[in-house]
Structure 1
Amino acid sequence: MSYSIIGSGNIGSAVARAFARIDVPVRVANARGVEAVARLVDEIGPQVEPAELSDALAADVVILAVPFEAVQGLAERVADWSGRIIVDATNAIDYTDFSPADLGGRPSSDLVADWATNARVVKAFGHTWARVLAREPGDGRGGRRVLFLSGNHADANAEIAALIDRMGFEPIDLGRNDQGGLLQQFGGPLTTRSFVSQAIGGSNPAEMDLVDP
């Protein structure tokens, strides 16, 4: 399985660090070219490989961490995404007043799916602050930071949930984009929320409580 991140801003860099923590190679590209990504190699390590945009778009799993208005042009550079996954880490924002962009009530990831022919699109990595995403996934007390995901293809959701779990976070699948996607996209009730999952123990419901680390 090959992975790439398009976008080397706050979210893209945080996701790249998460790959590096588990020693999984990932290609990183942006519109400014390879040289603009080279600093990440110095900061993070050899697991991060600067790539041309065309090479990054050829990965099995492509994580989009770019401004939402750039997504259509990127997606349409590939004629057929069959067999591959796009992870939508973008936020559709109207920057005139920093409000949710008017998408006609549609989930932003469904628009991505319209533009990326035959792609399996999963919404993930975009609901929380980049600085939270960049932290260690454990909370230091036995819990794991939660990352939500949603998508219309259960198999793709499962693959990205497994990746999130491998990174050390707690994946929570919110279901299809017309439900879960609306919850976590910019303006939804889960936007910028940070949750921690902790184990529950006890021999019966009356005794159940958080497990002390």
Structure 2
Amino acid sequence: MNYSIIGSGSVGMALASQFVRNGIRVGVANSRGRDAVAAVLGGHGEVLRALTIEEAVKADFIILAVPFWAHRDVAKAAIDWKGKTIIDVTNAYGVPLSDLGNKPSSSLIAKAMPGARLVKAFNHLPAGVLAQDPKTAEGRRVVFLSSDDEGATSEVANLVRRLGFAPVSLGKIAEGGRLVQAQDKTWAPLIFQDFFKKEG
């Protein structure tokens, strides 16, 4: 399996730091090109690689850490999304429900990338918290997952564990997944909630 992060803002770089912490190779891309990404990444040896978006969408697992509407530009970068797993880290805060067709924002992203398996994850915590060591005296920091594909949920849960977090599934996107889907100018109930899970 190979991984990429599209988005080199605070959230994308917080997640990149967790890959570095655990020695897991990942490519990082943004809309400004490989050189701009390389300038942000600094020296992390072979763990972090600067990519173009066209290269990033070739990964098996693509972490989408961009402003919500930017997913439409990312969607144009691949001819075929089949076999890809999209980890949706976006938040559609401030986007009118009418613009979303009164559906969870992840549903629009899934529609824009037909054939991909989409899992909502990592979006409920701010970047500063995501960048911290998820292993604490209280337990492992929880990351909520929601998806309409149980197999994809299981695979992303494995990545979440490798990064040191504790995965908790909320079920389908239109059901439990609404607990982490911002709507209009309302944050969902679980967004910003920092929970821990004891090991054992």
**Structure-2 residue corresponding to 1:160:** 156
Deviation at 1:43, TM superposition (A): 5.5
| Alignment partner, residue 80 of structure 1 | 80
Query: Could you tell me how far apart the structure 2 residues matched to 1:44 and 1:147 are?
Result: 25
User: Identity of paired residues, percent?
Assistant: 44
Match of 2:37?
37
Query: Which residue of 2 is the match for residue 91 of structure 1?
Result: 91
**Does the 8 Å contact 1:17/1:44 carry over to 2?**
no
Amino acid at match of 2:170: L
- CA displacement at 1:101 relative to structure 2: 3.7
1:126 and 2:131 are equivalent in the alignment? no
Contact 2:53 2:77 in 1 (8 A): no
Question: Which shifted more, 16-25 or 33-42?
Answer: 33-42
Counterpart residue number, 2:180: 184
CA shift in 2, pair 1:192/1:45, >3 Å: farther
RMSD: 1.5
1:106 correspondence with 2:103: yes
Quote the residue 2:15 is aligned against. Answer: 15
* Structure 1 ranges of 4+ moved more than 4 A: none
Separation of aligned partners in 1, 2:68 and 2:26? 22
Task: State the Cα distance separating 1:76 from its structure 2 match.
Answer: 3.3
* Structure with max Cα Rg: 1
Partner AA of 2:77 in structure 1: R
Question: Structure 2 CA distance, aligned partners of 1:155 and 1:198?
Answer: 25
Deviations 1:74-127 (A, max 9, x none): 113323211110110001122xxxxx5422331111111111011100001111
- The letter of the residue matching 2:188 is G
Q: Quick check: 1:170 aligned with 2:136? A: no
**Secondary structure of the corresponding residue to residue 148 of structure 1:** strand
Query: TM-score, normalized by length of structure 1?
Result: 0.86
Q: Are the aligned partners of 1:125 and 1:148 in contact in 2 as well (CA < 8 Å)?
A: yes
Secondary structure of the residue aligned to 2:143 is strand
Matches within 5 A, 1:26-65: 26-42=26-42, 44-65=44-65
Paired residues in the alignment total 194
Is the 1:81–1:118 contact (alpha carbons within 8 Å) kept by the matching residues of 2? Answer: yes
Q: Counterparts of 1:51 and 1:122 in 2: how far apart (Å)?
A: 22
Distance 1:144 1:39 in 2: 32
Name structure 1 gaps, 5 residues minimum: 95-99, 201-213
Amino acid at match of 2:90: T
Asked whether the 8 Å contact 2:6–2:66 carries over to 1, the reply is: yes
User: Gaps spanning 5+ residues in structure 2: where?
Assistant: none
Answer yes or no: is the 8 Å Cα contact 1:170–1:197 preserved in 2: yes
Following TM superposition, by how much is the alpha carbon of 1:142 offset from its aligned partner in structure 2, in angstroms? 4.8
Q: Deviations over 1:33-56 (max 9, x none)?
A: 112111343254431100111100
Give the deviation of 1:128 after TM superposition. Answer: 0.8
Structure with more contact order per residue of length (Cα contacts < 8 Å, sep ≥ 6): 2
**Are the equivalent residues in 2 in contact too, given 1:63–1:86 (CA < 8 A)?**
yes
Deviation of 1:190 after TM superposition, in Å, equals 0.5
Distance 2:19 2:45 in 1: 11
Is 1:195 aligned to 2:191, yes or no? no
Normalization by structure 2: what TM-score? 0.91
Report the residue type matching 1:154 in the other structure.
E
Instruction: Give the aligned residue type for 2:46.
Output: P
Report SS of the residue matched to 2:142. strand
